[in-house]
Amino acid sequence: MAELLNDEEIGKALGHLPEWRRVDGALERAVELPDFPTAIQVVNRVAEIAESENHHPDIDIRWRTLTFRLSTHSAGGITAKDVSLATEINGVVAAV
């Protein structure tokens, strides 16, 4: 099972993920896409990655704004899996 990261480890990870913030026991990023179809394309690409890694984000979809929330449910907080998926989500968004 993935180990929970401590405050120092989370802070260090966020240093490399300036688009993300810590909200309660999760990493969170909101991103605005050019339009709704593009937002759904991003969701679909993230879904492929999440399924391949068996680690799934919470996704809030409001028109063209997506909010991703990452936590490891089985650990009850933030683990390296969340940091890894955040990095991959950044890559998907950057490729739009």
Interface residues with ligand H2B (CB under 6 A) are 54-56, 72-74
CB 74 to ligand H2B: min, Å: 4
39 versus 79: smaller Cβ distance to ligand H2B: 79
For residue 26, which phi and psi values (nearest 5 degrees)?
Answer: -145, 165
Q: What is the DSSP string of 10-63?
A: HHHHHHT-TT-EEETTEEEEEEE-SSHHHHHHHHHHHHHHHHHHT---EEEEET
* Minimum gap (Å) between residue 55 Cβ and ligand H2B: 5
By beta-carbon proximity to ligand H2B, the closer residue of 38 and 74 is 74
33 or 71: CB nearest ligand H2B: 71
